[in-house]
Amino acid sequence: MSAIRYVTFDCYDTLVDYTRSKARAIRDLAAAHDVEADPLVAAFEAAEREIQATSFMPLSEVLVEAVARAFAAVGARAAPGDAAGVEAAVRQAPAFADVAPALNAIRTRFSTAVLSNSQEAIIADNLAMIGVPFDQVVLAAHAGCYKPDHGMFRLLLERCGCRTDEILHVAQGFYHDIEPAHALGIRRVWINRFAKTGDPAFGPYEEFTDLSPLPALLGLE
């Protein structure tokens, strides 16, 4: 790790509990509209990924469109304002308990950055929930694209003033982060919070269940 200057982090599901927070809000909508919750949640997740893979729109607009498509997929219609509850859930997603101690330790020796599929108005609330400052915050809204597009990672390298071998990228998302970071030659730590199965084709990478081991990995303990 001697070459590492920046430790960079995905935000959603790595630092804050994004997917489960959204799912709770969508289940509330399902109950309000008397539709089955599991199909609505699945349809929303599929729609969100599909939208982010096509033409760019800010996350707030993605959430509105994903809610509308999810309801259409289950044969129902979203009401005006339904997406507001989902956005509120994203903004209020709690930070995982392991996050602040690990970040505070890492900041004693390394610069840190967030690389997130978000926009300024939303990430501000997420960063407040985390409660630890970052040296750089690079967003989909800045790059005009969403991870796994390599454009986000290239902008991260530019903003940090780093070569690919000077960054350690830490993320829960395999598709959104581990795979593109592998393609670009960026060293990776997979935070496998949800007991998923990785893919050695995108290795080697370190795998932990939370951020607690990171300081020791970086020689801070």
Convert the pLDDT of each residue in 14-61 to its tens digit: 999 999 999 999 999 999 999 999 999 999 999 999 999 998 999 999
Cα(177)–Cα(173) distance, integer angstroms:
5
Same domain, 134 and 185: yes
* Domain end position, chosen among 56, 72, 91: 91
Same domain, 66 and 118: no
Same domain, 136 and 212: yes
Q: What pLDDT digit, counting tens, does each position of 116-152 carry?
A: 999 999 999 999 999 999 999 999 999 999 999 999 9
Q: Considering Cα of 66, then 70, then 75, then 80, what sign does the dihedral take?
A: negative
Cα(88)–Cα(187) distance, integer angstroms:
33
Same domain, 99 and 201: yes
Whether 1 is covered by a domain: the verdict is: no
Query: What count of other Cβ atoms lies within 10 Å of the Cβ of residue 50?
Result: 13
